[in-house]
Amino acid sequence: MDNVVRVVALPGDVPAVLATAREALGIPHLSFITVVDRQGSFELTYELMDFRGASVRVKTTIEGDEPVIGTATKSYPTANWHEREAYDMFGVAFAGHPDLRRTYMWQDHFDHLPLLKSFEISTKRTFEGLR
């Protein structure tokens, strides 16, 4: 039998759902946050674990071209890096995040979002000297 509790939440309810999972259910660990570009909306999945084999999977969908959702860092400090990665790769902003800046891409030199389906991969070679 599967020990995963699956929750589908409205975007505005996600921070409260995560707080309930941590405080009332005693789920101490946020394992990851995934983002899927659905071209017009973004599907976010939060995977929570309790180290005894049970987990809670919270899913939500954010509509629009400038997606914003409340931060999970208040309940799960490890969300800091997961949210920064989602911001850097997809442009999903997390309201209330303590340090929402890019992690992989250059802050002032690369304003593209490389994991969006609309991102066009350049045909120009980056390292012309390497052959």
CA–CA separation, 98 and 63 (whole Å): 23
| CATH top class, domain 4-95 | alpha beta
Asked whether the CA dihedral 17, 21, 22, 28 is positive or negative, the reply is: negative
**Burial classification of residue 78, based on how many CB atoms lie within 10 Å of its CB (0-12 exposed, 13-18 middle, 19 or more buried):** middle
CA–CA separation, 79 and 55 (whole Å): 16
Task: Please report, rounded to a whole number, the percentage of residues in the chain having pLDDT higher than 70.
Answer: 85
In this prediction, residue 100 carries a pLDDT of 93
Whole-prediction pTM: 0.86
Q: In the predicted model, is pLDDT for residue 104 greater than 80?
A: no
